[in-house]
Amino acid sequence: MSSSMSAAAEFIQSKSSLRPRVAVVLGSGLGAFAGALQDAVVIPYGEIPGWPVSTAVGHAGNLVLGTLDGFPVAVMAGRVHLYEGYTAQQAVYGVRVLAKLGVRSLVLTNAAGGINPDYQPGQAVLIGDHINLTGQNPLTGPNDENLGPRFPDMSEAYSRRFRDLARQAGRQAGIDLVEGVYAALAGPSYETPAEIRYLRAIGADLVGMSTVPETIAANHAGIKVLGISCVTNLAAGVTDQKLDHKEVLETGERMRGMMIDLLQRILPRLDEE
C-alpha cells in the first residue's frame, strides 16, 4: 500500500506543479465544485496508481488540482464507500495520498440524513464530532509509523478552529451553520425508523455512510479536518416519506450554489497553522 501511495503521489506531481496544502472531498451531487477551480488539471482516479474507483451514481471519480483566486487546492470529486465492498483502508487511500502530497487541512463534505428535528433538507451542518458505527476502522492491522501513531487521539477529530472559521465565513455569506454529531453506518440500505430512534438516543444529529474512515485516517496523519454535511433528507421515520437516493442527489444538486460559495470562502482560510 505504502509503495503504491508513493507512486500515486509521484504520478500526481508529474501532472501538476501545484502543491496544495488544503484539500476537499466532495460528497454526493457536489462534484460540480471542481468546475469552480482555475488552472484545473483533472486526473481520473483510474489513472492514479492504486487509487480505488467509485461505482456509486453521482460520484464522479477525479482528482482535480487547481486554484481559487490563486490559492492552490486539491479536490477529490468522488470517493469510494464501504458499501461498495471496499475495505476501510481502500476508502482512505486518497486521503493518505493527499497527506503524502503535503496536504495539512482537509474539508470532508457529504450528504446526510437529518435526525435532529430542527434540521431541514437543504441545510448545511458543520460536523462537530462523529460516532463510528461502521464496524470498521482504517487503522485496523499493523500500524505504519510513517503514516501516524498506533493510537491516535480523536478528542478533536473536527478542528474547533476550522469550525469557528467556517461559521464566520458562513455568516459573511448569510448562511447560518449549526453544529451536529454525525453517525456513520456502513449502509447501503437506509436506516429503519427504530435505528434512527436509537441514533437520536445516543446523541446523533446526522446519519450517513461516509466521511468517518477519512476523518480517522486524516487525524492519524496529523491532518486537520473540517466536516460539512448537506442535509439532503430527513432521516427514516422522522416523516412518513420514504427515502430515495434520487431525492438525496437532487437536494445535493440544489445546495450546490451555496456549497460552492461556502467552500470558496472557507478553503483559503484553512492554510494558516
Report the DSSP pairing between strands 105-114 and 22-26: parallel
- Nine-digit cell string for 248: 438525496
Q: How far is the CB of 209 from ligand HPA (least distance, A)?
A: 5
Q: How far is the CB of 67 from ligand HPA (least distance, A)?
A: 30
Burial of 85 (0-12, 13-18, 19+ CB in 10 A): exposed
Q: Which is nearer to ligand HPA, 235 or 270 (CB)?
A: 235
Torsion sign, CA atoms 116, 267, 210, 249: positive
Contact between 81 and 209 under an 8 Å Cβ cutoff? The reply is yes
Contact between 94 and 63 under an 8 Å Cβ cutoff? The reply is yes
Q: Which is nearer to ligand HPA, 51 or 190 (CB)?
A: 190
List, by residue number, the catalytic residues: 28, 59, 81, 83-84, 111, 209-210, 233, 245
Q: Which long-range contacts (CB under 8 A, 24 or more apart) does 139-145 make?
A: 139/216, 139/217, 139/220, 140/88, 140/89, 141/89, 144/2
Q: How far is the CB of 208 from ligand HPA (least distance, A)?
A: 4
Window 162 to 221, contacts with ligand HPA (CB under 6 A): 190-191, 207-209
Q: Which stretch binds ligand HPA (CB under 6 A): 61-69, 111-119, 142-150, 161-169?
A: 111-119
Work out whether 52 is an interface residue with ligand HPA (CB under 6 A): no
Binder of ligand HPA out of 95, 103, 111, 166 (CB under 6 A): 111
Q: Which stretch binds ligand HPA (CB under 6 A): 36-44, 117-125, 218-226, 230-238?
A: 230-238
Question: What's the alpha-carbon Rg for the chain, to the nearest Å?
Answer: 17
Q: 227: closest CA among 186, 189, 270?
A: 270
Q: How far is the CB of 29 from ligand HPA (least distance, A)?
A: 10
| Residues engaged in binding ligand HPA (CB under 6 A) | 111-113, 190-191, 207-209, 232-233, 235, 243, 248
